[in-house]
């Protein structure tokens, strides 16, 4: 302290002694407040901590958002308000001074504290901190796996973005990612649906392994957040078209039939995907039949994905992690079907702690167990479900009814083990069975069994491998009892499958996928056993054997920041194997000759190249245009004479007469985000050319003991349409509106005078509206409405008499329509309890809330009063179906 300053200080102290005690006290308090005041202000406003995400925002918009989050008011003039600079920033729990420093570091603007406000001013003399340009020649590879911190589950489709560059990637189907980044400092943002966004900075001086753990969204403290790119946003830069991704949480609050959440019913509310009808587990995609959909559960094919004749699907939602459906434009690693691939991944199991969840509804109960085998390294999952509708049958006094059986059960099981930084092993299985029988009358049992053994291996930071051995079995058994006669029918399709998939992250512009797949099919068309004097002879139809091989390679090339191209080729070879007889037919379906092949002898091989190409051009940060072409081949065919499908439908393989079905699909689409990713709009149109389509001859019988080829005809088809989707993704009210306008036709010589006719799955209009409203912390309300054009059917055009009996005759195939279908479902979820260790809720649903008597079937009969008059009889399955389910988790 200088001498003059010391003198002044002594004078003040001298005067201070002469002041009254009250004044002295007041002055001491004033001095104390002056000393404390700066400390108080250190916490507000510049040191206030908050989190924010900004992406290319105008300066004024950025400041308004920061103000909304922090509660601090900004003062600025017109120069600042009209500034054209754009701000990109990711900040996690940073002080406001740090955020403003980063926001304004590269621009000629400064900030200063002005009482309780912050003044932003134009500062032309400021030396901006321009980020140096990093040499593109020096780059390093960052790779790793994205997992959940709470459960250890790998996270599929997590987005990894580089904040200071227009680049990024996403984790693959096994949680692995790889990025090529410049040397030096890189700021990353990692986001995924249902997870808390992770922000980090890494400094690269060499290749780097980066395993990322993400926290569940539910674990966050309540806070205000702004995300410039929502985790569930559609990837505008990806060329992939015709894909819909569904997180299992999307199904949690939706209205359901009889209290059972169903992923198949949920995807039917998306554009281009149509229900096969009420009471059916099948679905149609872009004009294709139900058998043209490949359904995979942990990579294993599921040949019948329905329970209770189609009222429920085989997929227990408690066991499912992720759902992807590709509508015709599937990536090259998928094949074997024409219309779609529904790829469902099971949960891996929690490797951090033991957990139990489940639910009890009106007709079914569920129980899910998961936990670590060795914490942090291995885990297990067991998920079981069973209906108990048969329990209510026992209340009947009728012995025929109370001894009947009507139930299904399924069991999902999975275990995985982390062998090291480069290897992970998975073993998963599904076991399901339906039992429907009436005592001493008839019964039908059917079920699926699948098993998958997978090995994930990281060769290096550029090459990822997934090797799988897969088993799949579907069978049904029918039994009929009448007096002393017993009749049994058994059919089965069984696969053994070896698959290898490789992903090579060649450089920052090219990602190459390649692999092969080999499947050995065994098909039992039917075994008939008969006793008694019914006149039916026991027989076994010849088994069919085939080897289905394929190999593929594709490349995703990021040509520019705005243009990305994916191109590739899949080649499939289907070899029909002996032993057995193979036939030649004439034009009327009569057998003209046959040839016997010994076990393992090749009958015929079909080779089909399947090229695919897709391109995306990003118009700006919120819109893009995409186009694609894909060819697919199908060698397994479902022989069915019902629209909805049933467990007794027959799977048959391509033969010397049944050729592989082929489809060429052309697509174009437009995609746009609105209101900072709160809304999403897309429209896709497609045209599909179909070859070697299979349909029945008039008057065909699928249960004949003749070769099934005698009942079939072959021709071509076409399908085209447009799909619209508008989705609201954030806020208390979320949901979507989808609309599909489409046409599907076939042309087969011998049917409908050899002219084009409607396919059974043809529908002109299909509308779905889904709304979910978070009314409060305790209540979530939901509703969905569906409307679609009635199914294409064939009604009789007249009738005639032979020996006093009336017979109906039919003209053009599928020329008539069922009445239009429409239904409103309502739902509500009441949160009962939610703590860190236990949660429970009640789910209420009302299916078909206004009781519309939708037609399930229309059949024709002679009037009892006047046999010359024909009556159309309409049957309905469901009106007003309420349900309640109690769900728990601990």
CB contact at 8 A, 475 and 432:
no
Name which of 854, 786, 829, 776 is nearest 259 in CA terms: 829
Say if strands 139-148 and 212-214 run parallel, antiparallel, or are unpaired: parallel
Using CA atoms, how far residue 402 sits from 215, 389, 398, 433, in Å, is 51, 11, 6, 21
Distance CA 631, CA 335 (A): 10
Distance CA 532, CA 487 (A): 9
In DSSP terms, 313 is beta-bridged to: 306
Task: Fill in the DSSP letter of residue 314.
Answer: S
User: Crossing angle of helices 59-70/96-104, nearest 10°?
Assistant: 170
Which segments within 579-697 are labelled E, that is strand?
580-585, 591-597, 602-620, 623-634, 636-639, 650-653, 661-674, 679-696
Name which of 770, 761, 824 is nearest 790 in CA terms: 761
Say if strands 857-862 and 870-875 run parallel, antiparallel, or are unpaired: antiparallel
Name which of 93, 96, 112 is nearest 47 in CA terms: 96
Please tell me the predicted confidence (pLDDT) of residue 30: 37
Using CA atoms, how far residue 821 sits from 173, 303, 719, 758, 785, in Å, is 37, 27, 22, 18, 11
Distance CA 687, CA 667 (A): 7
CB contact at 8 A, 464 and 456:
yes
Token duo for residue 752: 């409908």
First to last CA, the chain: 67
In DSSP terms, 522 is beta-bridged to: 494, 545
3-class DSSP state for residue 567? strand
CB contact at 8 A, 254 and 782:
yes
Please tell me the predicted confidence (pLDDT) of residue 343: 94
Please confirm whether the linkage preceding 45 is cis (ω < 30° from 0).
yes
For the chain (890 residues), the mean pLDDT of every run of 10, in chain order, is 44 45 44 39 67 80 85 82 78 79 79 80 66 58 88 87 80 88 84 82 83 73 36 74 81 74 87 84 89 94 83 85 89 94 92 91 90 93 88 69 79 93 93 81 84 94 94 88 73 94 91 96 82 66 92 94 94 94 89 92 96 94 93 90 60 92 96 85 96 87 75 93 92 92 94 91 94 91 93 83 75 88 92 88 91 87 79 84 90
Distance CA 61, CA 74 (A): 12
Stated length of the chain: 890
Please tell me the predicted confidence (pLDDT) of residue 70: 82
Site of tokens 């997590």:
158
Distance CA 347, CA 154 (A): 9
Distance CA 493, CA 489 (A): 14
Distance CA 583, CA 598 (A): 15
Distance CA 737, CA 856 (A): 25
Say if strands 117-122 and 109-114 run parallel, antiparallel, or are unpaired: antiparallel
Please tell me the predicted confidence (pLDDT) of residue 714: 93
DSSP 449-491: EEEEEEEEEEEETTEEEEEEEEEEEEEEEEEEEETTEEEEEEE
Distance CA 262, CA 255 (A): 10
Q: What are phi and psi of 548, to 5 degrees?
A: -110, 115
Using CA atoms, how far residue 388 sits from 361, 397, 407, 745, 791, in Å, is 10, 18, 6, 42, 32
Please tell me the predicted confidence (pLDDT) of residue 150: 85
Burial (CB < 10 A; 0-12, 13-18, 19+), residue 112, is exposed
CB contact at 8 A, 381 and 312:
no
3-state secondary structure 728-793: ECCCCEEEEEEEEEEEEEEECCCCHHHCCEECCCCCCEEEEEEEEEECCCCEEEEEEEEEECCCEE
In DSSP terms, 370 is beta-bridged to: 355, 381
CB contact at 8 A, 264 and 317:
no
Task: Fill in the DSSP letter of residue 623.
Answer: E
Please tell me the predicted confidence (pLDDT) of residue 604: 94
Does an H or E element contain 13, and which? helix 3-18
CB contact at 8 A, 393 and 435:
no
Token duo for residue 254: 């939706």
Name which of 581, 594, 583, 478 is nearest 536 in CA terms: 478
Name every residue whose Cβ is closer than 8 Å to that of residue 715 and which is 6 or more positions away in sequence: 693, 695, 746, 747, 748, 749, 751
Distance CA 379, CA 398 (A): 48
Which segments within 163-272 are labelled E, that is strand?
167-170, 176-182, 184-191, 198-204, 208-209, 212-214, 243-247
Site of tokens 């029945």:
696
DSSP 418-452: E-SSSEEEEEEEEEEEEEEEETTTEEEEEEEEEEE
Token duo for residue 801: 């008499």
Burial (CB < 10 A; 0-12, 13-18, 19+), residue 67, is middle
Q: What are phi and psi of 39, to 5 degrees?
A: -65, -40
Distance CA 591, CA 707 (A): 9
Distance CA 834, CA 779 (A): 13
Task: State the CB neighbour count (10 A cutoff) for residue 864.
Answer: 8
Name every residue whose Cβ is closer than 8 Å to that of residue 163 and which is 6 or more positions away in sequence: 88, 89, 90, 187, 188, 189
């Amino acid at each position: 302290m200088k001498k003059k300053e010391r003198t002044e200080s002594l004078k003040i102290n001298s005067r201070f002694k002469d002041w009254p005690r009250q004044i002295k006290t007041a002055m001491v308090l004033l001095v104390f407040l002056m000393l404390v005041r700066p400390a108080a202000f250190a916490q507000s406003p510049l040191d206030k901590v908050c989190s924010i995400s900004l992406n290319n925002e105008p300066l004024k918009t950025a400041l308004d958002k920061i103000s909304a989050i922090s509660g601090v008011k900004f003062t600025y003039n017109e120069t600042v308000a009209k500034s054209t600079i754009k701000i990109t920033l990711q900040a996690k729990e940073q002080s406001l001074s740090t955020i403003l420093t980063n926001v304004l570091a590269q621009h000629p603007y400064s900030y200063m504290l002005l009482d309780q406000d912050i003044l932003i001013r134009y500062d032309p003399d400021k030396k901006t901190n321009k980020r140096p340009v990093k040499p593109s020649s020096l780059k390093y590879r960052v790779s790793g796996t994205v997992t959940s911190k709470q459960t250890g589950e790998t996270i599929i489709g997590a987005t990894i973005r580089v904040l200071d560059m227009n680049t990024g990637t996403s984790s693959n189907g096994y949680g692995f990612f790889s990025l090529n980044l410049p040397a030096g400092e890189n700021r990353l943002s990692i986001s995924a649906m249902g997870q808390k966004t992770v922000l980090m900075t890494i400094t690269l001086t060499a290749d780097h392994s980066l395993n990322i753990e993400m926290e569940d969204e539910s674990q966050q403290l309540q806070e205000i957040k702004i995300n410039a790119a929502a985790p569930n946003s559609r990837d505008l830069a990806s060329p992939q078209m015709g894909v819909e991704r569904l997180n299992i949480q999307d199904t949690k609050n939706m209205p359901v039939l009889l209290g059972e959440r169903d992923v198949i019913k949920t995807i039917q509310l998306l554009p281009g995907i149509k229900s096969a009808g009420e009471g059916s587990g099948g679905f149609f995609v872009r004009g294709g039949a139900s058998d043209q959909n490949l359904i995979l559960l942990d990579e294993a094919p599921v040949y019948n994905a329905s329970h209770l004749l189609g009222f429920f699907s085989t997929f227990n939602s408690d066991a499912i992690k992720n759902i992807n459906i590709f509508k015709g434009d599937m990536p090259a690693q998928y094949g074997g079907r024409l219309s779609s691939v529904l790829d469902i991944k099971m949960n891996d199991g929690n490797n951090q702690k033991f957990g139990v969840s489940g639910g009890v509804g009106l007709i079914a109960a569920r129980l899910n167990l998961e936990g670590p085998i060795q914490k942090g390294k291995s885990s297990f999952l067991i998920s079981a479900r069973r209906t108990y509708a048969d329990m209510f049958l026992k209340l009947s006094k009728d012995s025929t009814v109370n001894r009947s059986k009507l139930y299904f059960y399924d069991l999902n099981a999975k275990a995985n083990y982390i062998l090291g930084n480069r290897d992970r092993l998975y073993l998963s299985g599904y076991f399901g069975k339906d039992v429907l029988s009436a005592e001493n009358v008839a019964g039908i049992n059917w079920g699926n069994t699948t098993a998958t053994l997978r090995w994930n291996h990281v060769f290096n930071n550029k090459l990822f491998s997934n090797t799988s051995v897969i088993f799949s079995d579907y069978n049904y058994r029918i039994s009929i009892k009448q007096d002393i006669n017993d009749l049994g029918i058994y059919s089965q399709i069984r696969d053994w499958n070896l698959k290898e998939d490789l992903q090579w992250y060649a450089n920052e512009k090219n990602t190459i996928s390649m692999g092969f797949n080999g499947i050995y099919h065994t098909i039992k068309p039917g075994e008939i056993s008969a006793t008694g004097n019914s006149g039916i002879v026991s027989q076994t139809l010849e088994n069919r054997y085939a080897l289905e091989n394929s190999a593929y390679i594709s490349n995703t090339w990021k040509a520019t920041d705005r243009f990305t191209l994916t191109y590739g080729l899949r080649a499939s070879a289907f070899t029909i194997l002996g032993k057995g007889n193979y036939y030649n037919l004439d034009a009327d379906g009569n057998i003209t000759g046959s040839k016997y092949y010994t076990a393992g002898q090749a009958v015929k091989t079909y080779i089909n190249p399947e090229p695919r190409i897709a391109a995306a051009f990003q118009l700006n940060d919120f819109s893009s245009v995409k186009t694609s072409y894909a060819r697919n081949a199908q060698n397994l065919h479902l022989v069915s004479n019902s629209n909805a499908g049933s467990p007794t439908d027959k799977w048959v393989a391509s033969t010397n007469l049944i050729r592989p079905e082929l489809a060429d699909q052309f697509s174009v689409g437009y995609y746009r985000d609105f209101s900072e990713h709160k809304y999403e709009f897309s429209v896709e149109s497609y045209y599909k050319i179909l070859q070697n389509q299979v349909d029945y001859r008039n008057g065909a019988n699928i249960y004949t003991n003749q070769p099934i080829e005698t009942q079939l005809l072959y021709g071509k088809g076409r399908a085209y349409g447009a799909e619209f989707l508008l989705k609201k993704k954030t806020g208390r009210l979320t949901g979507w509106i989808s609309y599909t306008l489409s046409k599907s036709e076939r042309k087969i010589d011998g049917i409908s005078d050899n002219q084009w006719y409607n396919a059974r799955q043809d529908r002109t209009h299909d509308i779905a509206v889904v709304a979910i409203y978070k009314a409060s912390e305790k209540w979530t309300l939901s509703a969905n409405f569906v409307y679609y054009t009635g199914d294409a059917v064939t009604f009789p055009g007249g009738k005639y008499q032979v020996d006093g009996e009336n017979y109906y005759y039919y003209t053009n195939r599928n020329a008539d329509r069922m009445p239009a279908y429409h239904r409103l479902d309502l739902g509500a979820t009441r949160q009962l309890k939610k703590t860190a260790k236990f949660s429970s809720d009640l789910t209420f649903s009302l299916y078909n809330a206004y009781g519309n008597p939708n037609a399930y079937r229309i059949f024709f009969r002679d009037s009892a009063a006047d046999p010359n008059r024909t009556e159309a009889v309409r049957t309905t399955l469901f009106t007003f179906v309420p349900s309640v389910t109690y769900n728990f988790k601990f």
